[in-house]
Amino acid sequence: MKLLSIAEQAVSSEEDLVSLSGEFGQDFGGILDRRRFNAKNCLANCKIEIIDKNAAEKLVPHIHMPFNLAFYMPEAINVNSKYYLNALFLACQNIVKELSASGFGKKNLCLQKKSVYELRELEGKQCFLRHGDGKNVENKFVLWWTPENGEYDAVIICLGAKADLLPELAGKLPLRTCRGVILHLQLPDNIGEDYPDHGPSILSDAWLAIKGNRRLDLGSTWEWKSRNSSSNVSTDEASDALQELLPKASAIYPGITSWSFAGARAGLRAMPPLTPHGSLPLLGCVNNILGNDLICKYWLLGGLGSRGLLYHGWLGKLTAEAVLSCNEQIIPSELTSWKNKDSRP
């Protein structure tokens, strides 16, 4: 939440960064007790209310609740991660400007939007020779902090589900991939009864992220073992996703049947293995895995699975502290134990 407010301050308005102010979760059995416990012991800044059908219907008319019980989080929000990341980068640029202006010496922050084919490229000068060889790889970005002499003290590998496409890491990460499709729905002009003002998003068997009165996102599918990382969704894939998600959504919000398809996007999750502590992200220094002939220090921040937005601030902070102090012990051992030989593929 602190990062979110930093991002909000960096852009002039919070429009597009965050939508809505509530989230409404319904349990279809199994973990009710744990959820009740969470609701009773929630943090002051993360309120969870236990509500009944009547209260839920006041929030979302005609909602369907088989258990007469739901968990309402009045302060929950949806984050538009693209705008959020752009705003965070702007905030970093502002800090660099402020530090430079306040006599701490000239600082530079450099964002290079380039695909990295292998880690060896980042070792000294080879880095610049290998780019522009015409390989057709997605033109996304990775953020590199460089010291003034142009070489890297440390490299943090955060390529999501593509981390093991780096030849140095291929077959060495205990990650499974899982593609997910999200559908954009809108309410046609001829439908009068729209989603209520400030109505909460809904987390159920499927989730509905509400974007105003007449637009929402419905998610998401779980296609295990897919390696397709394209954000584009074909007509067939969108139609399959609709067939899968609409019944789940209408089980709780029957009004969804009036909404129409307005597009779809997809992503690839990097799922970490299930351990006795749950499915935990993969962190830590990876030089021991990569081999001894690399000069700089390499770190991994990966396996964020389906909860990357939730964890990223904490994991980013842990990694930054470990990198700056060259001390992996700062990171809880549960997050680095995947590097033990027995835990690797």
Ligand X SMILES: Cc1cc2nc3c(=O)[nH]c(=O)nc-3n(C[C@H](O)[C@H](O)[C@H](O)COP(=O)(O)OP(=O)(O)OC[C@H]3O[C@@H](n4cnc5c(N)ncnc54)[C@H](O)[C@@H]3O)c2cc1C
* Contact between 172 and 344 (Cβ < 8 Å): yes
Sole binder of ligand X in the list 305, 331, 338, 339 (CB under 6 A): 305
93 Cβ neighbours under 8 A, 6+ residues apart: 109
For residue 179, the minimal CB distance to ligand X (Å) is: 7
- Options 15-23, 63-71, 138-146, 320-328: segment touching ligand X (CB under 6 A): 138-146
Nearest approach in angstroms of CB 303 to ligand X is 8
Is 19 a binding residue for ligand X by CB under 6 A? The answer is: no
The yes or no reply on residue 22 touching ligand X (CB under 6 A) is: no
Radius of gyration of the chain (CA): 22
Considering only 138, 153, 193, 321, the residue that binds ligand X (CB under 6 A) is 138
Contacting ligand X within 254-283 (CB under 6 A): 267, 269
| Subset of residues 193 to 252 that bind ligand X, contact rule: CB under 6 A | 219-220
Name the segment binding ligand X (CB under 6 A); options: 126-134, 155-163, 239-247, 283-291.
155-163
- Phi first, then psi: give them for residue 79, nearest 5 degrees: -110, 130
Q: Is 304 in the site for ligand X (CB under 6 A)?
A: yes
Beta carbon nearer to ligand X, 159 or 256: 159
Show the site string, 97-136: x = touches ligand X by CB under 6 A, - = not.
------------------xx--------------------
- How many whole angstroms separate alpha carbon 178 and alpha carbon 69? 31
**CA–centroid distance for 193 within its chain:** 32
For position 160 contacting ligand X by CB under 6 A, the verdict is yes
Choice from 310, 314, 321, 333 touching ligand X (CB under 6 A): 310
339 binds ligand X (CB under 6 A): no
E strands, the chain, in order = 18-19, 23-26, 49-51, 70-73, 78-79, 111-112, 142-143, 154-157, 176-186, 201-203, 207-210, 215-219, 223-224, 260-271, 274-275, 278-279, 282-285, 297-302
Interacting span for ligand X (CB under 6 A) from 28-36, 69-77, 123-131, 302-310: 302-310
How many CB atoms neighbour CB 140 within 10 A?
12
Q: Are strands 49-51 and 78-79 parallel, antiparallel or unpaired?
A: unpaired
Eight-class DSSP state of 258? G
Say whether residue 1 binds ligand X (CB under 6 A): no
CB of 99 to ligand X, least distance (A): 26
- 3-class SS at 137? coil
Residue by residue, DSSP assigns 154-215 as EEEE--GGGGGGSTTTTTTS--EEEEEEEEEEE--TT----PPTTPPEEESSSEEEE-SSSE
> 162, 201, 211, 335: which one contacts ligand X (CB under 6 A)?
162
Shortest distance (Å) from residue 248 CB to ligand X: 14
Q: CA 125 → CA 120, 132, 150, 152, 154, distances in Å?
A: 10, 14, 8, 11, 15
Backbone angles phi, psi at 140, to 5 degrees: -100, -165
DSSP summary character for residue 25: E
Which window, 4-12, 14-22, 57-65, 299-307, contacts ligand X (CB under 6 A)? 299-307
Q: In this chain, which stretch among 60-68, 99-107, 158-166, 189-197 interacts with ligand X, using CB under 6 A?
A: 158-166
Q: Which x/- pattern, by CB under 6 A, does the window 25-64 give for ligand X?
A: ----------------------------------------
Distance CA 65, CA 56 (A): 9
- Rounded distance, CA 137 to CA 304, Å? 22
Least distance in Å: CB of 281 to ligand X? 8
Is residue 182 close enough to count as binding ligand X by CB under 6 A? yes
Strand partners, 168: none
CB of 153 to ligand X, least distance (A): 19
Positions that interact with ligand X (CB under 6 A)? 115-116, 138, 140, 142, 158-162, 180, 182, 219-220, 267, 269, 302, 304-310
